[in-house]
Amino acid sequence: MTVPYQFPDNFLWGSATSAYQIEGSPTADGAGPSIWQRFAHTPGTMANGDNGDLACDHYRRFESDIALMRELGLRAYRFSIAWGRVLPDGTGQVNSKGLDFYERLVDCLLSHGIQPMPTLFHWDLPAALDDRGGWLNRDIANWFADYASLMFRKLDDRVPTWSTLNEPWVVTDGGYLHGTLAPGHRNLYEAPIASHNLLRAHGAAVQAYRAIGQHQIGLVVNIEPKHPASQSPADLAATQRADAYMNRQYLDAALLGRYPDEMADIFGKAWPQWPRTDLDLIHQPIDFLGLNYYTRSVNRHDDQTWPVRASAVKQSRATITETGWEVYPQGLTDTLLWLKNRYGDLPLYVTENGSAFYDPPVAEAGQVNDPLRVRYLQSHLKAIHHALNQGVDVRGYFAWSLLDNLEWSHGFSKRFGLVHVDFETQTRTPKDSARYYARVIKSGGCVLDEPTA
Pairing of strands 115-121, 161-166: parallel
The DSSP bridge partners found for residue 118 are 79
Amino acid, res. 429: T
Exposed, middle or buried: residue 216 (CB in 10 Å: 0-12, 13-18, 19+)?
Answer: middle
* DSSP H or E run through 193: helix 190-212
Active site residue 167: yes
For helices 330-343 and 371-389, the axis angle rounded to 10 degrees is 30
Number of neighbouring beta carbons within 10 Å of residue 12:
20
- Collapse the DSSP code of 90 into the 3-class scheme (helix H, G, I; strand E, B; otherwise coil) and give the result: coil
- CA dist 349 and 398 (Å) reads 8
Residue of 126, 117, 140 lying closest to 220 (CA atoms): 117
H or E stretch at 148: helix 140-155
Residue 414's identity, in one-letter code, is K
CA atoms within 13 A on the CB side of 295: 18
287: nearest Cα among 388, 217, 200: 217
The values of phi and psi at residue 325, to 5°, are -100, 135
- Cis? peptide before 401, omega within 30° of 0: yes
Give yes or no: 71 in active site: no
Alpha helices in 296-448 (DSSP H): 330-343, 371-389, 432-443
Residue 362's φ and ψ, nearest 5 degrees, are -65, 130
- Alpha-carbon distance of 232 to 49, in angstroms, equals 43
Catalytic residue among 23, 190, 326, 352: 352
- The C-alpha atoms of residue 99 and residue 312 are separated, in whole angstroms, by 43
Among residues 23, 167, 190, 326, the one annotated as catalytic is 167
Cis peptide before 307 (omega within 30 of 0): yes
**Cα-based distances in Å from 80 to 90, 352, 396:** 15, 13, 17
Centre a 10 Å sphere on the Cβ of residue 30 and count the other Cβ atoms it contains: 15
Taking CA atoms, 407 is separated from 168, 301, 323, in Å, by 17, 30, 10
Contacts of 379 (CB under 8 A, 6+ apart): 327, 329
Contact 39/184 with Cβ under 8 angstroms? yes
Q: Give catalytic residues, as residue numbers.
A: 167, 352
